[in-house]
A = this chain, B = another copy of it.
Amino acid sequence: MSELSNEQLLDIDYYLRLTRTLEERLVALFRQAKVIGGLYRSLGQEGESVAAAYALDYKQGDVVQPLIRNIGAILVAGAKPADIIKQYMAKGDGPTRGRELNIHFGHPARDGFIGQISMLGDMIPVMAGIALAGRMQKRKLVTLAFIGDGGSSTGAFWEGMNFASVQKLPMVVIVENNGYAYSTPTSKQTAARTLADKSYAFGCAGVTIDGNDVLGVYDTTKRAIENARSGGGVTLIEVMTFRMKGHAEHDNQAYVPKELIAEWAEKDAVVRFENLLVERGVATREQLDAIQQRVKKEVDDATDEADRSPMPDPAHAGKGLFIEDGYWG
């Protein structure tokens, strides 16, 4: 069962549970109007998000770049739940001190992850640049970028992928084909047979896999990462998954056929992974419940911490535009 130790498998389960529980907590906070702005769920996609990010080696300096639904990925990279909640609650001592929202934060050289900006696609050239710097600095780091079916239509995505492929940069890109971009089905996003087929345009490796198969995603990503690390260049991995909720909490996804939701509900990656753990004797249900208990406690603590955090000081609104002004220390 993969090359993963039992300990690692349980670690993955921990992140899956943490992701789901944290997001559920955010929903509760959203309903209490404590979360300001939109809330974007990754329900149904936690598997690929966690598994892919788990395949990186953060000690080597690897860097992951999440989309809005990749809370799982940055948790794996080391983001603190309290920081995420603070971001959502627009608190003054969160990572961006209330300037940016949700999981748009992180420093590639310091944190092992870098949040996206809203303009979809822009992070692909940026991640190429991070990989380029790593190579120039003679470090063996690999970058892992997430992009959506929708985001993969942007010019920025194309230019970044093309540049990375020409340069044979150590970069792996996960295209999350979750069926929709907001209300737009993938069929209106592209006429390509698969999103992995875009790899032909770049001359990089490309593959389509089951996104709800945690171990499959881990293995494929891991191979792609090690290939990249050893100079093999870019891989584009299309993971087939599904966005189980609307685009954001305000969206009731009326445009999604009910049967499709029901069909994918059966394929939940977390349930599937845990069933496997139990079947293969990696863990008992009790052990898994214990993980859930631990996770709940962590999320409770994080919520408390975020709740107690101050809002930003309005007097700071004008500071820090240029880095030398010292606002960020």
Q: How would residues 142 to 163 of chain A score, 1 for a CB under 8 Å from any chain B CB and 0 otherwise? A: 0000000000011111110010
Interface residue from B155, B158, B162, B197 paired with A200 (Cβ < 8 Å): B197
Q: How would residues 175 to 219 of chain A score, 1 for a CB under 8 Å from any chain B CB and 0 otherwise? A: 000000000000011111100011011111000000000000000
Q: Is A165 an interface residue (CB 8 A)?
A: yes
Q: Which residues of B contact A197 (CB under 8 A)?
A: 200-201, 203
Q: Is A17 an interface residue (CB 8 A)?
A: no
Q: Is A168 an interface residue (CB 8 A)?
A: yes
Q: Which residues of B contact A157 (CB under 8 A)?
A: 158
Q: Which of A155, A157, A190 has the most CB of B within 10 A?
A: A155
Q: Is A166 an interface residue (CB 8 A)?
A: yes
Nearest-CB residue, chain B, relative to A192: B203
Residue contacts A-B, CB under 8 angstroms, 16 given: A154-B155, A155-B156, A155-B158, A162-B190, A165-B190, A166-B190, A168-B191, A192-B201, A192-B202, A193-B200, A193-B203, A197-B201, A197-B203, A198-B200, A200-B201, A201-B201
Q: How would residues 14 to 46 of chain A score, 1 for a CB under 8 Å from any chain B CB and 0 otherwise? A: 000000000000000000000000000000000
Nearest-CB residue, chain B, relative to A204: B191
Q: Give Cα A78 to B91, complex, Å.
A: 65
18 more contacts with CB within 8 A, not counting A158-B158, A166-B189, A192-B202, are: A153-B159, A154-B159, A155-B156, A158-B159, A165-B190, A165-B192, A166-B190, A168-B191, A190-B202, A191-B203, A191-B204, A192-B200, A192-B203, A197-B201, A198-B200, A200-B200, A200-B201, A201-B201
